[in-house]
Amino acid sequence: MKGFFANTWKHRAHVVMALPAFLILLFFAYIPMGGLIMAFKQYDYTKGIWGSPMNGIDNFKFLLASKDTFLSMTKNTLFYYVIFTGVGTFLNVVLAIAIDQFVFKRVAKTMQTIMIIPVFISYAAVQFIVYAFIDTRSGIINQMLGSNIRFYTTAALWPWILTIVKMWNSVGYGSVLYMSVLAGIDSSLYEAAEIDGANKWQQIKHITIPSLVPMITVMLLLSVGNIMRSDTGLFYQVTRNSGQLYKTTQVIDSYVLNAIFKNSNFGFVAATTFFQSVVGLLLMLFANWTVKKIAPENALF
Amino acid sequence: MARNKKEKDLDLAPSRYEKKGPGQYVLGLCLGLYTLFCGLPILLVFIAAFTDEKAIAQNGFSFTPAKWSLAGMNSVLKYGKQLLTSYGVTIFITVAGTMVGLLVMSMFAYSISRKEFKLAKFLSIYLLIPMLFSGGQLSCYIIFTSVYGLKDSFLLLILPLCVSTMNVIILRTYIVNSIPSELMESAKIDGAGEYRTFFQITLPLMKPSMAAVGFMMATVYWNEWQNALLYIKSDNKKPLQLLLVNIQKSIEVLLNNANVPASARAAMGGSIPQYSSTMATVIVVIGPIMVAYPFFQKYFVKGLTVGSVKG
pLDDT band of B16, cuts 50, 70, 90: low
Residue A54 DSSP SS3: strand
The answer to whether residues B47 and A133 touch, using CB atoms and an 8 Å cutoff, is no
pLDDT tens sequence across A35-60: 898 888 888 777 777 788 888 888 88
Query: Does residue A136 surpass a pLDDT of 80?
Result: yes
- Supply the DSSP symbol for A41: B
Residues B148 and B293 in one domain: yes
CB of A121 closer than 8 Å to CB of A128: no
**Average pLDDT value for residue range B137-148:** 91
- Touching check for A69 and chain B: CB below 8 Å? no
- B267 shares a domain with B212: yes
pLDDT of residue A267: 84
Q: What structural domains and CATH numbers belong to chain A? A: 69-298 (1.10.3720.10)
Distance of alpha carbon B215 from alpha carbon B221, whole angstroms: 10
**Which residues are B51's β-sheet partners?**
B68
Q: Give per-residue pLDDT as tens, A244-281.
A: 999 999 999 999 999 998 877 788 889 999 999 999 89
Does one domain contain both B165 and B198? yes
User: How confident is the model at residue B272, as a pLDDT?
Assistant: 55
The reply to whether B190 and B47 lie within a common domain is no
Q: Do B134 and A125 touch (CB under 8 A)?
A: no
Mean pLDDT of B47-52: 90
pLDDT computed for residue B310 by the predictor: 43
Residue B291 within a domain? yes
A69-92 pLDDT per residue, tens: 889 999 999 999 999 999 999 999
> pLDDT by residue (tens digit) across B251-263?
777 766 655 555 5
Q: Which residues pair with B68 in a beta bridge?
A: B51
CA distance B291 to chain A (A): 10
CB contact under 8 A, B139 and A172: no
Residue B245 has pLDDT above 50, yes or no: yes
What is the rounded CA–CA span in Å between residue B163 and residue A20?
A: 10
* Whether the Cβ atoms of residue A117 and residue B294 lie closer than 8 Å to each other: no
Provide the pLDDT for residue B140.
93
Task: Tell me whether residue B230 is exposed, middle or buried, using C-beta atoms within 10 angstroms of its C-beta: 0 to 12, 13 to 18, 19 or more.
Answer: middle
pLDDT tens digits for B143-197? Answer: 999 889 898 999 999 999 999 998 998 899 889 888 888 888 888 899 888 899 9
A66 pLDDT more than 50: yes
pLDDT > 90: percent of chain A? 47
CB-facing half-sphere around the CA of B69: CA atoms within 13 A: 19
- Please indicate, yes or no, whether residues B201 and B131 belong to a single structural domain of this protein: yes
pLDDT of residue B173: 86
Pair B157, B236 in one domain: yes
Is the pLDDT reported for residue B14 higher than 90?
no
Q: Do A225 and B132 touch (CB under 8 A)?
A: yes
Q: For the residues B119-138, what does the mean pLDDT come to?
A: 91
- Asked if pLDDT for residue B308 goes beyond 70, the answer is no
Q: Give the list of residues 6+ apart from residue A164 with CB closer than 8 angstroms, or none.
A: none
Among chain A residues, the shortest Cα distance to B163 is held by A21
Whether residues A108 and B12 touch (CB distance < 8 A) is answered with yes
Q: Pick from A163, A180, A18: which is nearest to A91 by CA?
A: A163
Global ipTM: 0.87
Query: Of the candidates B69, B100, B130, which is a domain's last residue?
Result: B69
Share of chain B above pLDDT 90, in %: 38
What is the residue-averaged pLDDT of chain A?
89
- In this structure, are B146 and B276 located in the same domain? yes
In terms of C-beta density within 10 A (0-12 exposed, 13-18 middle, 19 or more buried), how is residue B177 classed?
A: middle
Q: Does A276 touch chain B (CB under 8 A)?
A: yes
In contact, A40 and A55? CB cutoff 8 Å: yes
Instruction: Output the CA–CA distances (angstroms, integers) from residue A82 to A85, A93, A227, in the order listed.
Output: 5, 17, 8
B43 assigned to some structural domain: yes
pLDDT recorded at residue B270: 46
Among chain A residues, CA nearest to B143 = A32
Cβ atoms A163, A85 nearer than 8 A: no
Q: Residue A123 pLDDT more than 90?
A: yes
Closest CB from A120, A125, A142 relative to B219: A120
Q: What is the mean pLDDT of chain B?
A: 83
Are residues B56 and A138, on separate chains, in Cβ contact within 8 Å? yes
Burial class (CB in 10 A: 0-12, 13-18, 19+), B153: middle
pLDDT at A163: 97
**Contacts A24 to B, Cβ<8 Å:** 104, 159, 162-163
B194 in any annotated domain: yes
Give the whole-number percent of chain A exceeding pLDDT 70: 99
A200 to chain B, any CB pair closer than 8 A? The answer is yes
Whether residue B15 lies inside any domain: the answer is no
Q: Which residue from B minimizes the CA distance to A167?
A: B38
A232 part of contact set with chain B, CB < 8 Å: yes
**Given a cut of 50, is residue A111 above it in pLDDT?**
yes
Over the stretch B61-106, which tens digit does the pLDDT of each residue have? 889 888 888 888 887 776 678 888 998 999 999 999 999 999 999 9
pLDDT average, residue stretch A191-210: 89
Q: Do A32 and B118 touch (CB under 8 A)?
A: no
CATH number assigned to the domain comprising residue B137: 1.10.3720.10
DSSP annotation string for A108-154: HHHHHHHHHGGGGS-HHHHHHHHHHHH-TTT-HHHHHHT----GGG-
What's the gap between Cα A47 and its chain centre?
A: 35
**B303 lies in a domain?**
yes
Is B146 within the bounds of a domain? Answer: yes
Q: Indicate whether B7 pLDDT > 50.
A: no
- Residue A126: pLDDT above 70? yes
Supply the pLDDT for residue B79: 66
pLDDT at B72: 80
Please tell me which residue, A107 or B273, carries the higher pLDDT value.
A107
> Which residues 6+ apart lie within 8 Å of A230 measured at CB?
A77, A80, A81, A251, A252, A253, A254
What is the pLDDT at residue B3?
A: 42
Domain membership of residue B55 as a residue range: 23-69
- Scan residues 149-188 of A and list those with Cβ closer than 8 Å to B: 168, 172, 176-177, 179-180, 182-187
Looking at the fold, whether B128 and B271 belong to one and the same domain comes out as yes
- B159 and B39, same domain (yes or no): no
- The whole-number average pLDDT for the span B279-291 is 88
The pLDDT confidence band at residue A138, using thresholds 50, 70 and 90, is confident
Domain count along chain B: 2
- Residue of A92, A104, A130 lying closest to A237 (CA atoms): A130
Mean pLDDT of A16-42: 93
Query: Is residue B64 domain-shared with residue B186, that is, in the same domain?
Result: no
| pLDDT band at residue A29 using 50, 70 and 90 as cut-offs | very high
Do the beta carbons of residue A190 and residue B22 sit within 8 Å? no
Higher pLDDT among residues B268 and A15, named by residue: A15
pLDDT in tens, A169-186: 999 988 988 888 888 888
Residue at B274 is within a domain: yes
Indicate whether B27 and B96 sit together in one domain. no
Within 5-64 of A, beta carbons closer than 8 Å to B belong to 7-8, 11, 13-15, 17-18, 20-22, 24-25, 27-36, 38, 43, 45, 48-49
The dihedral through the CA atoms of B22, B26, B31, B33 has a sign that is positive
What single-letter amino acid sits at B206?
Answer: M
Does B159 contact A200 at a Cβ distance shorter than 8 Å? no
Among the partner-chain residues A168, A214, A273, the one whose CB lies closest to the CB of B136 is A273
Whether residue B176 sits in one domain with residue B49: no
**B13 falls within a domain:** no
The answer to whether residue A197 scores a pLDDT higher than 80 is: yes
Rounded to whole angstroms, the Cα distance separating B237 from B87 reads 10
